[in-house]
Structure 1
Amino acid sequence: MFMYSDKNLKESDFQVVDNKKLDAENLCGSGLLHYFTDLRVKGNLKDCGCQGDEIDDSTLSTYKTCQNSYNGLYLNNVTSKDLSPLENIMQVKGIIDISNTDIENLSFLKNLVTFKYRNQETKERISFNLQNNPKMTRFGMPVLSVIHNTEVERSDGPEEGIVLFNFENLHPDFCLTVNEILLFLELNVTFRNLNAKICDVSQEILSEPSVCKFETLEKLHSECIFVIGDVVIDSENEHDIINVGNVYYIFGSLTIKNTKLQSLAYFFNLLAIVHLGDGPAIQLISNKELKDAKFDNLRVKQLFQNKVFLLKIKISEHYNQWKPRSFYPGQSSGHFQI
């Protein structure tokens, strides 16, 4: 048996309800049913999970034993301060939507490892929505490590496609840690809106040899893989550009101006520039001898704020315009050339 969705990608209704002698504990993972996320199985002798779209202040306490949530996880207009009944959830299948609450972070989902959604086509569908939570300052899901489209498990299914998140209208200080950003990059997460900053990096993390806070190009050492801050290369320090050779990630922006550089080949290991602030991620200004402006391995496909991502590049102070480069979600990395 296989159930098809409608034109809006809504799954067919599938309900196994109130069969007091039926053991349905393994039903949701059997046969073709394991592709589906919006199964309603409840009120039986045993159920295969709980219903994540029925949570409100009056039902919250009934979720204490829930480990697998079907029909997603919806917390809309929930006012309860105690969300500990949800802390045993290990897997969510379906959309996660947390909106219009006073929740400060998602640490109550401390055991949630796996998030599975279903995206059957290229049509945009937000799978994880954090919206209109004015007190939310952190993400804070400590063990989340699997984000997966169940549709790709079918032999005739699509490729992984867009993993579309939306983090919008949260507290002005809402921030993501470096580790959270790396997780999203690794799992190909794309954002429709990302109203966030990069969290301040603790001294404990900065004590790691692979993590450096950018001060001067001269101080970048050979073990520095992650650079925190806005990197500026100019005529005063361009002789130290060889120091960027082992840098894989820049959490900030990159500006190269007024140099005599002929090539950007020094950035041969650079995989990503994560810039969540205003203005361009990369600026190349008045480098009159620059001929080879190419980043061989730069990934420009994640953590930008539109469905078509713009890596904004300022070429010169003499041009009163930005040169946008467009990249669609899921585009592979490599050979970004200006």
Structure 2
Amino acid sequence: MKSRRYSKIWQPYPAGYDLREHISQIFQFSVRTPKMTRFRLILTYGLTILNNSQLTNVTFISELELHTDEQTHECSFQIENNEKLDAGKLCSTTQLNGMFRVRVSGNSKNCGCNGYQINTDTLHTFLKCKVTYGLVLTNITESDLSALSNIKEVRGLVDIQMTNLKNLSVLRNLKEIYSKNGEFNENVCFNVQNNPEMTRLAMPALKELFDAQLGPFIMNLRDLHPEFCITYDEMKLFMEKRVYFINIDAKYCTEDNLTIGAGDEGFVVKLTKVSHLFGSLTIRNTLLEDIEFLSQLEFIAVLDNVDVIQIVSNQNLNFVYFPWMSVIITRYNRTVVIDKNPKLTSPELSIFNVQYATRIAIVGDSLGKGFLPENI
């Protein structure tokens, strides 16, 4: 059947009303056959089924192909206040899998939870929630948030602001956060801001931070307790999930900068398998000829106010290259200093893979004018 673009609000029907018959009239073909004919329903503006006191099932939804907006791949899907309707398994259907704007509530059985409506009055309703559409905690000073402890997946914005929380351990079972930024949007997906008592994240189960449209997953950690710190395991997750930070007002719970100096040349072989560096890198006053021992280094995250990398005064050094570098996270400046290495003189020196856009300023007398393009 030819597809058509359609947006409809189903409002109350009298007792015994045959919703399938109404759909048949709308789409002008019979749905009374033993197996409903499959057709395509393009939901750009959304589907709403509200306040139908006699409605007992919406199984027809499983026979639809839902085609959404081409840019956001999303539409509003609202099934609420149908007091006899069992919608307990609706959110797990193929049609709704991956949708973020699903609202199913006020029915005899519901699925999913609207995380944009968490407050003192609604908190108890989240006790059985495993999937929420968004998770917003603002202006909450509750001492007991244990009703949120069973949440395992969030689809949409996580926004924690203006609370007295010391950490997010109440979300100890949260494993996955999914956003829908897409290629051209830069919306914050995980915002933790203006929580002056927060010293840790403490979300041990968190394993996935992902944009469902392959756009950037963006975090903001700002205006927290002065002692707020991030563990190496947490930073490792942020690195490997390619998280972008608007702000990262944090320090490491333990610091671990890497400094290679005079006399350390015989020990660098121990670094050949290092892929993650939690702190800055300094190579100074050595007799090294190259840095091949760091060829596996892929991730660097620096939270101190220091240069990301310093390679200075190495008399025999003639080659510097990080072939696998793919993520550099910093709280402050993003500067690499390569200076006073007399055998490293090429003005066209490239230290990163050409496919990696670093947004790094590279300075030093070995590089002619002292700066290279951002996307070297």
Is the pair's TM-score, using the shorter chain for normalization, greater than 0.5?
A: yes
Matched to 1:79, the amino acid is: T
Q: Which stretch has the larger CA shift, 229-238 or 252-261? A: 229-238
**Aligned pair partner of 2:127 in 64, 67, 82:** 64
Q: Which has the higher contact order (CA 8 A, sep 6+)?
A: 1
Contact 1:286–1:317 under 8 Å retained in 2: yes
Q: Is the 8 A contact 1:312 1:324 kept in 2?
A: no
In structure 2, the partner of 1:141 is 203
Gaps of 5+ in 1: 152-159, 201-227, 330-335
- Counterparts of 1:308-323 in structure 2, within 5 Å, are 311-316=334-339
Please tell me whether the aligned partners of residues 86 and 108 of structure 1 are also in contact (alpha carbons under 8 angstroms).
yes
**Secondary structure at 2:143 match in 1:** coil
Q: Is the 8 A contact 1:190 1:302 kept in 2?
A: no
- How does 1:99-138 map onto structure 2 within 5 Å? 99-138=161-200
Residue equivalent to 1:221: none
Specify which of 97, 108, 119 is matched with residue 45 of structure 1.
Answer: 108
- Note closer, same or farther for the CA distance 1:248–1:36 as it changes in structure 2 (3 Å cut): same
Distance 1:52 1:60, change over 3 A: same
Q: Which is further off, 136-145 or 6-15?
A: 6-15
**Structure 1 residue identity aligned to 2:210:** H
Contact 2:314 2:340 in 1 (8 A): no
Q: Tell me, in whole angstroms, the C-alpha distance in 2 between the residues paired with 1:128 and 1:103.
A: 16
| Per-residue deviation, 1:97 | 0.4
CA distance 1:150–1:297, change in 2 (3 Å): closer
Show the counterpart of 2:240. Answer: 186
Number of aligned residues: 288
- Deviation per residue, 1:133-179 (Å, 9 max, x gap): 1111001111112233334xxxxxxxx22111111111111111111
CA distance in 2, matches of 1:302, 1:257: 21
Q: Deviations over 1:65-98 (max 9, x none)?
A: 222212x000011111111111111221111000
Structure 1 residue 34 corresponds to structure 2 residue 97: yes
Cross-structure match for 1:77:
139
1:315 Cα deviation after fit = 1.9
Q: Secondary structure at the match of 1:92?
A: strand
CA distance in 1, matches of 2:300, 2:207: 22
Number of the residue aligned with 2:28: none
Q: CA deviation at 1:230?
A: 1.9
Mind listing any 5+ residue stretches in structure 2 that lack a counterpart? 1-40, 45-67, 342-349, 360-373
Give, as a single letter, the amino acid of the residue that structure 1 aligns with 2:117: E
- Using the aligned pairs only, state the percent identity: 36
User: For 1:93-139, what per-residue CA distance to the aligned partner results, in whole angstroms no more than 9, with x for missing partners?
Assistant: 11100011111111101221222222233310111110111111001
What do you get for the CA RMSD once the two structures are aligned?
A: 3.0
Q: Is the 8 A contact 2:280 2:306 kept in 1?
A: no
Amino acid at match of 1:132: N
Q: Which segment is superposed worse, 247-256 or 233-242?
A: 233-242
The structure-2 alpha-carbon separation of the partners of 1:17 and 1:167, relative to structure 1 and needing over 3 Å to count, comes to same
- Over alpha carbons, which structure has the higher Rg? 2
TM-score (norm 1): 0.76
Quote how far apart the aligned CAs of 1:296 are: 2.2
Say which SS state the counterpart of residue 123 (structure 1) adopts: coil
Measured in 2, the distance between the counterparts of 1:273 and 1:186 equals 11
SS at match of 1:122: coil
Matches of 1:245 and 1:67, distance apart in 2: 42
Deviations 1:222-259 (A, max 9, x none): xxxxxx62222222333433332233322221111122
Alignment of 1:192-207 (within 5 A): 192-200=246-254
Further displaced range: 21-30 or 84-93: 21-30
Q: What secondary structure sits across from 2:290 in the alignment?
A: coil
- Does the residue aligned with 1:273 lie in a helix, a strand or coil? strand
When residues 259 and 134 of structure 1 are mapped into structure 2, their CA distance, relative to the original with a 3 A threshold, is same
Query: Match of 1:91?
Result: 153
> Matches of 1:94 and 1:261 in 2, distance apart?
49
In the alignment, the residues of structure 2 paired with residue 48 and residue 182 of structure 1 have an alpha-carbon distance, to the nearest angstrom, of 33
Retained in 2: the 8 A contact 1:128–1:164? yes
Letter in 2 for 1:140: A
SS at match of 2:330: coil
From 340, 348, 357, the equivalent of 1:327 is 357
Q: Residue 235 of structure 1 aligns with which residue?
A: 262
2:196 is the alignment partner of 1:170? no
Whether 1:263 and 2:317 are equivalent positions in the alignment is: no
Partner amino acid for 2:338?
I
1:274 aligns with 2:274: no
Q: 1:24 to 1:197 in 2, by over 3 A?
A: same
Q: Tell me the equivalent position of 2:57.
A: none
Provide runs of 4+ in structure 1 moved above 6 Å.
5-8, 323-326
Conserved? CA contact 1:18–1:43, under 8 Å: yes
AA paired with 1:44?
N
Give the Cα separation in 2 of the matches to 1:260 and 1:314: 18
SS in 1 for 2:233: helix
